[in-house]
Amino acid sequence: MLDVLAKIISSIVSSDTIILIVAVLTGVIFWNIIKKKNEFRTNFYKWKQERRFKKINAKTGSLKKWHNIFITLISFFPLLGMLGTVVALLKLDLTEANDSVKNNFFDALTSTAWGIVFSLGFKGANAFIETEIQDYIDKAEKLIEENEDEVFSDAKKVTL
């Protein structure tokens, strides 16, 4: 059992490297979102009190952008898993010995497994932050709408 587990884990480095790279990138983006969300939570009412609506607008846009990128990356994992499966199956040379077929078939299965594992993991992580992020975005958008003249005052000067 430990041998199989070790082989699965080693496959992420050897044959499923692209999934590992996207997983690391997704983790970094998740960490960035957590930092932005915490900054927003800490400063929102202070910015509101100081009437820094442009700052709220900019921070809201940044939070939305990075959260959308994160959600999009989550959906990549099953697709990357399927891609790895197809690539591994295309490498099959049925004229060779059985060991080659077994190894390529194992690579195909681990690729699919890693895609599913990372997709589920990041989807679960998103469940912890999505509601709070959406609440902040809704509050900010309402505040921005109520103070539209101040937020977009520079744009109005340019168009006049």
The count of structural domains within the chain is: 1
Does 160 reside within a domain?
no
| Residue 97, domain extent | 2-153
Residues 6+ apart with CB under 8 A from 150: 51, 53, 54
Whose tokens are 């927003």? That residue is 40
- Using one digit for the tens of pLDDT, what is the confidence trace for 29-76? 999 999 999 999 999 999 999 999 999 999 999 999 999 999 999 999
Does 159 reside within a domain?
no
Would the pTM count as exceeding 0.85? no
Length of the chain: 160
Task: Return the DSSP state at 92.
Answer: -
Does 158 reside within a domain?
no
